[in-house]
Amino acid sequence: KLYEDMRNRIEAVMNMGQITEEIRKQHKGFGEWNLASEPQNHQTILQILIDGRDGKAVDVEGQPLPTLVYLSREKRSKYHHNFKAGAMNTLIRVSSRISNGEIILNVDCDMYSNNSESVRDALCFFMDEESGHEIAYVQFPQCFNNITKNDLYANSLNVCMEVELAGFDSNGGPSYIGTGCFHRRETLCGKKYSEECEREQTTRNNNERIEENASVLEETCKVLASCSYEDYTQWGKEMGLKYGCPVEDTLTGLSIQCRGWKSIYFTPERKAFLGVAPTTLLQSLIQHKRWAEGDFQIFLSSYCPFTYGHKMIPLKLQISYCLFVLLAPNCLPTLYYVAIPSLCLLKGISLFPKISSLWILPFAHVISSSCAYSLGEFIWCGGTLLGWWNDQRMWVFKRTLHTSLVFQKPY
């Protein structure tokens, strides 16, 4: 009933195109909105909903509550908002003024925590006495709660999460995949790793308290979320998440690793975070196209792992990044694979040796070995036989979709 009431109120506001005075009086945050406010054109809206410094901020059991802040950054039509990277950078700046916590958890808006121990697990890596000071971020797998048994559109990413990213971890550290990741704040702000980081970690004192009351703090922090704050600064370049690339997460993770930091990939038995995967073929293809386009832009840019990461990260990690950044060019052999045999069949051209010939054995060995390996890997990661077949079918769809991406403008 509460959900239905909330939905009806939202729909009523959307239909009227404005917020009534009655609703404004009920909710303080709505006082910031006016008739000129639009999703892409509005001022900064910031409200400290729960002030963790207030001794009265407790739950029903009397336990103290953490600070909770609502933030909607300023957006203007003449300023590019830089999508997720711009939002993350704004949150980094505002949170540094309000709480300045050393660890930042990044979770997509369609994901939620499924394992309360994930925070403790991440802190165990950061606080390790021997190598904790070297860790920039702890990455958890990206998992979904709406995947069907046979995964019709191959959106589970099980092989990627359980095999490929685990390989990244063995070769020098996983890439940052944009969600389910615990970051060390200073690494997101552009700090380079040095031996002094270990001494700084043991001597750091974060007991400094902000003396302003909540209302004053809200007003001072709004400047940090304005459109013009980043003008003539290094935000989006040397500080925060990188701008200008559809896969700002991969690019940011690579940049952090090239500054000397290490990363950890951790897969607990109980999934740490769950989200929502695409539910239609079109949604799945659009998402995959964006990933492939952004990764290939990285390869063509000055951030190519082999040039940008030269002598900065291990060669085996540079090669590991090729798994992502060279996803789009793989469309060329795939197109040959799906087109040439069909054309030869139509024209009556013999592309492979006859079954009765011994020369069929090498071809049969390669085809059967590839399929057997792929099937075994998929089953080992929790998939089904029909799910593997769907994955092979979507593999052809997604690979041939990349044809238009091979000739992209470099980043």
271 annotated as belonging to a binding site for a ligand: no
- Would you say 303 and 251 are in contact if contact means Cβ atoms under 8 Å apart? yes
Mark out the alpha helices in 273-330 (DSSP H runs).
281-300, 305-308, 315-325
- Would you say 51 and 64 are in contact if contact means Cβ atoms under 8 Å apart? no
Q: Which amino acid is at 100?
A: N
Mark out the alpha helices in 99-134 (DSSP H runs).
118-126
Residues in the chain: 411
Q: How far is CA 58 from CA 24, 54, 62, 73, 351, in A?
A: 26, 9, 5, 28, 74
CA distance 219 to 373: 59
84 annotated as belonging to a binding site for a ligand: yes
Q: How far is CA 327 from CA 177, 289, 330, 348, 359, in A?
A: 16, 10, 6, 33, 32
Q: Which residues contact 20 (CB under 8 A, 6 or more apart)?
A: 13
**Element containing residue 269 per DSSP (H, E):** none
- Would you say 244 and 143 are in contact if contact means Cβ atoms under 8 Å apart? no
CA distance 237 to 141: 27
How many CB atoms are located within 10 Å of the residue 407 CB?
A: 9
Q: Which amino acid is at 242?
A: K
Q: Which two tokens stand for residue 239?
A: 């500080």
CA distance 180 to 274: 9
Which residues carry a binding-site annotation?
84, 108
Which residues carry a binding-site annotation for Mn(2+)?
84, 108
